[in-house]
Amino acid sequence: MGLYKSALRPLMFRMDPESAHDLAFKALEKGVVSTKTFESPLLEQELFAVKFANPLGLGAGFDKNARAVPHWHKLGFGSVEVGTVTWHAQPGNPKPRLFRLPEDQGLINRMGFNNDGAEKVASRLWGLKPAIPIGINLGKSKITPLEEAANDYQLSFRALKDFGAYFVVNVSSPNTPGLRSLQERGPLSEIFSAIRSVDYTKPLFVKVAPDLEFTALDEVIDVAKEHRLTGIIATNTTISRGGVSAKAPHRDEAGGLSGRPLCHMSNKVLKHLYRACGQDMILIGVGGIFTGQDLYDKIAFGAHLCQVYTGWIYGGPQMAPRCLEELENLMERNGIKALSDLRGAAA
């Protein structure tokens, strides 16, 4: 067992989750946390004209304000998605709003897009030359009415468009009232049009909820294709509590569930998307990755790229390189010579 799991994690898990997060973040932001990274030509890819040294990125929500962008590559990630960023700076929901479910290796959060606002985040990214591709995840400000959502996303995109290798329309967080209704055809189409009218060339993704029916997912695919989106991110957190022990103390807290209990649900969505549009769209698989096997499975279910959040909180600084080494071992053992040969093999 590494130092993180044997000594540091027990200490941090004694603190309330958000204070532990803030403490860890301060260290990350100062650049004092790093690890032995794992590099392999087997894990490199060029997708939508962007080079990825490996397929595992840090998911949205950890570096909401792009404060630690110069440091994420030192932890072995192949990319990082900053945000969710909204046009208006906002404090998010009252605390407590983050809960651990250690028996189930899960988290429940209702952060509510606490962030500094698009212009402040843009000023932080200005002039940086990140070592890995940066995705920028955009959401709707809480004070903006749902009918004006498209304009809100457009304003954020306008402020941030020069700083991301790709952009994400997040319409799947359960913690902004009504947000997930923007996954429907009409509002989604309006948001994509508004963003595309500012700049048609930037790689654009939509991030979906794991709670959508397949018919609703098919509608998202249709709209995404109409607006020439680059791809789809599957998935955000779930409002369901499937896979959570009945006696878990925080199971009834409101918010989105992530981590191990989300894995199966998220993979089902990924598989459906791959079957429906895997040849035309880049798919980013996220939800419940803890090991190299989880990573291997997501790629076999159709992911071009993957992301992690909760598994990294549980796994600590060595998590990314450990998973990547395990992934390479699994590929070698199965005679797979490139990620593109693995992709979709089990979809």
Q: Is 231 a binder of ligand FMN (CB under 6 A)?
A: no
Burial 316-328 (b: 16+ CB within 10 A, else e): bbbbbbbbbbbbb
Cα–Cα dist 203/304, whole Å: 14
* Near ligand FMN by CB under 6 A: residue from 105, 236, 267, 318: 236
The reply to whether 84 sits near ligand FMN by the rule CB under 6 A is: yes
Beta carbons within 10 angstroms of residue 198's beta carbon: 13
Binding segment for ligand FMN (CB under 6 A), chosen from 146-154, 159-167, 296-304, 306-314, is: 306-314
- Considering only the stretches 60-68, 155-163, 187-195, 220-228, report the one whose residues sit in contact with ligand FMN under the rule CB under 6 A: 60-68
Among 55, 61, 292, 302, binds ligand FMN (CB under 6 A): 61
CB 82 within 8 Å of CB 39: no
**Cβ-based nearer residue to ligand FMN, 100 or 227:** 100
What is the H or E stretch that residue 285 is in?
Answer: strand 282-286
Size of the site for ligand FMN (CB under 6 A): 28
Applying CB under 6 A, the span of 57-65, 186-194, 220-228, 272-280 interacting with ligand FMN comes to 57-65
Copy the structure tokens of residue 198.
């500012």
Beta strands in 73-155 (DSSP E): 79-85, 98-101, 106-109, 134-138
Residues designated catalytic: 173
289 interacts with ligand FMN by CB under 6 A:
yes
- Angle among Cα 207, 211, 212 to the nearest 5 degrees reads 70
Question: Which residue lies nearer to ligand FMN by CB, 155 or 269?
Answer: 269
Q: Considering only residues 128 through 147, tell me which ones interact with ligand FMN, judged by CB under 6 A.
A: 137
Site map (CB under 6 A) of ligand FMN, residues 97-116, x = contact: -x--------x-x-x-x---
- In angstroms, the Cα distances linking 30 to 62, 192, 338 are 15, 36, 36
Shortest spacing between CB 289 and ligand FMN, in angstroms: 5
Question: Which one of residues 69, 80, 171, 308 is an interface residue with ligand FMN (CB under 6 A)?
Answer: 308
Contact between 251 and 263 (Cβ < 8 Å): no
Could you give the angle at which helices 214-226 and 263-277 cross, rounded to 10 degrees? 50
Residue with smallest beta-carbon separation from ligand FMN: 61
262 touches ligand FMN by CB under 6 A: yes
